[in-house]
Structure 1
């Protein structure tokens, strides 16, 4: 989701580890090393990686650099091929019917379990080859002064993918700034027991 949208959901993170000056200088290269790889010409089910926040087709940051003032800005791109279950079931039935007709012509009365599985795999590959992957892009903004990261999604799967790729790319651990984490950040570790024992208040 673009960070400049009129409305959007944002997940806030802080980087747990210390960030060295050397790492800041390596950010552009690390993004390129973990950039998105296109799967339009393949049968792969999905692909994900970093891309330019200004252009999701730019995986080399040729249009613009990730540095924007004291922020590092980039996007997580995820392309997924989705084959509707009803379509898959239909083409499996067609393929199995054709296979059974061939088997009967050879004097066989059934199709083995292994052959059925093989046919289903072949059907899935054929359908993937005929379908285009659907792209999704999620912007990320990393404040180099505070170490805070804004990720433009609240979807649990998107967040998990972002956290995994961020940690693999930069070798840094992210912590989501939940209300509890924000409370600790503002009040200090001494307030942990008080925050843990808080109970919601009903105003009805």
Structure 2
């Protein structure tokens, strides 16, 4: 769910480095250089990149600029092709049956080597990938340039890792999740880190 939904789960980050003033005029160009590329007409398994916050089909920011007041907004779009296991199993079985029939007719034995089986698996996967439409998903990102806090509308660990890598690659800045530990340390001070490290959970049941 995105930030424009009635409810949303999100992860907060802070930017570790000091942000150079030269970055701000380059925001739009940096996003376009790392924009999402469509894979509808390919057999690629996955594609990801930036799109406009307001329109997941807009990878050129024609509908609206990323800057909105004191915020920079964008969407991380991730398209993934998934072949249902039962479909793959069926088509692989058909390919193996055809191969065994061909082997029997040409060499007099119905035997398929391990290497050939692996080759048929790859061919079957590519063939089905080309016939399968990718499933699109967009994850909203809001960057408060005043506070330096970045919000990602997801708590999935794999998606968070992908986002962190994309953010660093795009803006040359590193993110740190604002976990409860970080929040407590920011208020207590680094000199009291040992107090937090020595805390033990309380069992109420």
- The TM-score by the shorter chain falls in which range? over 0.9
- Could you say what secondary structure the match of 2:122 adopts? helix
Residue deviations 1:12-62 (CA, integer Å, cap 9, x gap): 000001101111221111110000000000000000000000000000000
Match of 1:157 in 2: 158
Residue deviations 1:132-179 (CA, integer Å, cap 9, x gap): 000111000001111110000001111011011111111111000000
What does residue range 66-145 of structure 1 map to in structure 2 within 5 Å? 66-109=66-109, 110-145=111-146
1:117 Cα offset (Å): 1.2
Structure 2: stretches of 5+ with no match in the other structure: none
- Could you say what secondary structure the match of 2:5 adopts? coil
Aligned residues: 204
Match of 2:17 in 1: 17
Structure 2 CA distance for aligned equivalents of residues 202 and 36 of structure 1: 46
Structure 2 CA distance for aligned equivalents of residues 53 and 178 of structure 1: 25
Structure 2 CA distance for aligned equivalents of residues 188 and 14 of structure 1: 16
Pairwise CA RMSD:
1.0
Q: In terms of mean alpha carbon deviation, does 53-62 or 114-123 score higher? A: 114-123
Q: TM-score, normalised by structure 1?
A: 0.97
Structure 2 CA distance for aligned equivalents of residues 59 and 95 of structure 1: 39
Distance 1:113 1:202, change over 3 A: closer
What does residue range 173-188 of structure 1 map to in structure 2 within 5 Å? 173-188=174-189
User: Which aligned runs of 4 or more in structure 1 are off by greater than 6 angstroms?
Assistant: none
Structure 1 CA distance for aligned equivalents of residues 204 and 99 of structure 2: 66
Match of 1:62 in 2: 62
What does residue range 31-46 of structure 1 map to in structure 2 within 5 Å? 31-46=31-46
1:108 Cα offset (Å): 3.8
1:201 Cα offset (Å): 2.4
